[in-house]
Structures are given as C-alpha cells and as structure tokens.
Amino acid sequence: MKNLSLLRVSLWAYLAIFFAYLLGPLVIMSITAFNSPEFPRAAPWECLTFEWFSALFRDERILNGIKNSVLVGFGTVVLSVAMGLAGALMLTQIWPKLRATYYTIIIAPILVPGVVIGISTLVFWDRINRMLGLGADSFLSNGLFLTVIGQSTFIASYCMLVLVARLQRYDVALTEAALDLGATHAQAFRKVLLPFMKPAIASAAVLAFLASFENYNTTTFTFGEYPTLTIELAQKVRYGITPAISALAFIIVLLTVFAALFNEANIRRKELVAEARKDATVEELSSGRIKMPGFLSSNWAAVALVIVACATVTVVGAATVYSPQQCIADVQEQKRLETEMRIQELKRQRELRRQQQQEEQGEAAPAQSQPSSGNNSGFGGVFAPSTLGGDAAEPEAETEAEDEGNNSGFGGVFAPSTLSGGDDSEGSGN
C-alpha cells in the first residue's frame, strides 16, 4: 500500500514538473504582456496595463506579417492537402513491391533541412524564370508563390502520413460496390471515399496551416517582399523586443485554448448524443422525441470553454475602463527617488574614500621628509655622513687641522707633519 502511494505521488510530481517545463515559458510570457515595463519581464511587478495590446494592433509590420502568413497558410493548405491525398491514394494502390521505395521518396523531404529546401526552391524557380524569359517581377519570382511552393514541398509529406493512416481503415469493397452499381470512378471518389476521408482531410489541413504559420527556416530564403509573421518577429527580436510580442503570444495561446476546448466539447457532445440515441426506446426513435443532453451537462470541456470565454469578455471590458497612468506615474516617481538616493550614496562613499586617501598621504609625508633634510647633494644621499661609519667625524677634524697647519702651495707635501722627528732635530741644530 505504501509503495502504491509512493508511486502515485511520484507520478503526479513527474507530471507537474513535465507540464511546468512545457507550459512555464508560455505562462511567463503571457504575464509579461500585462506588466508596464518596456522590456518584457514578469518580476518585479509594477503596474497592470493593457497598452501593449493596443501597441500590437498599431504595429503595421506585425499586422502585415499576420496577413502574409494567413495568405501563405491558405495556399500551403490547398497545395499540401491535394498532394498529400494524391500521394496517399497512390501509396495504397501502387504495386506492393514498389510501395516501400515510393514511401521513402515521399517521406524524404521531411528529413531535408529547411534551409536546404529554401535555397533550392529559390535557385530552381529563378532558373525556370530565366529560361522562360520572364522579368524579375514575374509571378515565378513572387515571394508568396515561392514561399507556398517551398513550404508545400515538405508539409505535403505530413499531410500524406495523416491521410494514409485514415485510408488504412477504408474498405475498398465500398468503392467496388459503387462501381458495380453504375457509378463512375469520379462519382465513387466524390460520394464514397471523400466523405470517409473528411475527418483526416480536416486534420491534415489544420496541421498544414500550423506548420506553415510557424515556419522560419524555409521562409527566410523565399519571402521576398512578403515577410511573414515569423520573419517580422525575428527582425524585431534582433533589434529590440517589446511586451507587444508577449501580447501577440498571449493572443495565440488564448486562441489555441479556445480551439482545443471547442473541439473537445464538440467531440464530447457527439458522444453524449450517441449514448442518448442508444438508450432511447423505439417510440422515441420513431417519433423523433429523443431527450438530448444539454450543452453543458456532463461536458467539462464545454464548461471550461464558457469559463474562458467569460473571463476573456471580463478582461476586455476592464481594459476599456482601466487606466494605468497614475500607477505608472507613481512607479516612475519612486524610481526617480531611488535613483537620487543611490547617487547620494555613491557621492558619500566617494567622499569617504577621498578623505581616507588624504589621511594616508598626510601620514606618509613626514616619514619621507626626514631623510632628505640632511642631504643636499645630487647623488641621492649615497655620500651622506649618515651612511658612513662612526669615525667619520674624526677624519673631518684631522683634515681641518692639516688645513690650518699647511698654508703652502704644494698641497701639504712639505708640511712638518710629513717629515721625520730626527730630521727635525738635525735641521734645528744646523
């Protein structure tokens, strides 16, 4: 029992860490869209503001990028789904021995880097344009055309995988029965196979649009004069990001949550309706008076969808009447006061350091001045009397005595002290 409880706790802890790692950056970026600083940050929190959403809708480059991304997305969906459906049908009808080779060729674009696809698309269609003798402004050099072609090259493979998974559950006998009843191949495809493939086609279309909307590696070489949203965002991040990008991210996250909840609520609604019809009596089925469940009954996705919608409406209503100007002014005044206090503190510390340096210089000055008072020579005090031994004063006295007793001009060579005592007596006797 303890091991089971420990396993459950570990599982919940793992799920919490996993979703925090997965959704944490999105949550933090969504929070920065409502903070007043000009650089996106969640902490420290300053003021609640909605101005970054208005700044987003005033940014012409972002709006133009969204428009180009939508145009490219729709073109990519049409081309990719059509090629993917054709490839899936061919894969199910081709000779079995060639099926593996054909599958490898169709999947190969997924393995090729997007940079290579973008460069090859640009070079290939430029050569075609020159061969046809068209100018630089022809549709073959148009950024929208090249971007759709380049993205469809590998997105079609994703669509084919989705459609092949659906085709594997299709009963070919249905098409054969339609042909036996006199339908043409086009009619059998349109009235039998196509309705069966509608859910997969819808899924492939959504996948193709999302893959096109967020693509950057291929688009950066083919967009020409039609930059998509990812190109504009990359350029803005390069030259300085603002919370308006966070506002855009929050809107995308909100739309994704709406779409996911709506899809889940719709699926749950169909399941409840199927259960109600299954439990209905024959009389109710014949009369058509089946009691259908409500939209919110036993449907948590629908309840969550309504809650998110109400919260969104409340936030939009609050944004129209709330003004953060006073809060922003208070924060700026507080920052100004903090800056002045910081400057005063720096000045005080600088003054203290200056006083300490002056005191240290004052203490060092007397110690340096004492040796230099008795040494006025130009030899740095090398021959100063203090550098000699204790008998230095005696030679000086002897020198003075010799100078007094020797007044000749021969440098004291014939001074009496240089002569011997005997000579002195003999000389005196003569």
The confidence score (pLDDT) of residue 397 equals 43
> Average pLDDT of the chain?
81
Is the pTM above the cut of 0.75? no
Q: If DSSP states are collapsed to H, E and C, what string results for 286-302? A: HHCCCCCCCCCCCCHHH
The confidence score (pLDDT) of residue 392 equals 44
pLDDT band at 44 (very low <50, low <70, confident <90, very high): confident
pLDDT band at 342 (very low <50, low <70, confident <90, very high): very high
The confidence score (pLDDT) of residue 406 equals 47
For the record, the structure tokens of 121 come out as: 């698309």
DSSP 368-413: HHSGGGG--SSSTTTT-GGGS-GGGHHHHHHHHHHHHH--SSSTTT
More confident residue, 195 or 285: 195
The confidence score (pLDDT) of residue 78 equals 95
When mean pLDDT is compared across 27-31, 47-51, 235-239, 306-310, the lowest value belongs to 235-239
The confidence score (pLDDT) of residue 322 equals 81
More confident residue, 414 or 235: 235
pLDDT tens string 179-202: 999 889 899 999 999 999 999 999
Residue 170 DSSP symbol: -
Nearest to 268 by CA among 292, 295, 289, 288: 295
When mean pLDDT is compared across 43-52, 165-174, 234-243, the lowest value belongs to 234-243
Q: Would you say residue 304 has pLDDT above 90?
A: no
DSSP 9-45: HHHHHHHHHHHHHHHHHHHHHHHHTTB-SSS--SSS-
pLDDT band at 68 (very low <50, low <70, confident <90, very high): very high
What are the backbone angles phi and psi of residue 2, rounded to the nearest 5°?
Answer: -65, -40
For the record, the structure tokens of 317 come out as: 């209503």
DSSP 348-371: HHHHHHHHHHHHHHHHHHHHHHSG
The confidence score (pLDDT) of residue 137 equals 82
The confidence score (pLDDT) of residue 317 equals 83
The confidence score (pLDDT) of residue 288 equals 60
What share of the chain has pLDDT > 70, as a percent? 80
pLDDT tens string 245-280: 889 989 998 998 888 888 888 888 888 877 777 766
pLDDT tens string 364-419: 776 655 554 445 545 555 555 555 544 444 444 444 444 444 444 444 445 555 44
More confident residue, 289 or 356: 356
The confidence score (pLDDT) of residue 287 equals 62
Residues 126 and 119: their CA atoms lie apart, in Å, by: 11
More confident residue, 68 or 301: 68
Q: Is residue 385 reached through a cis peptide bond, with omega within 30 degrees of 0 on the bond before it? A: no
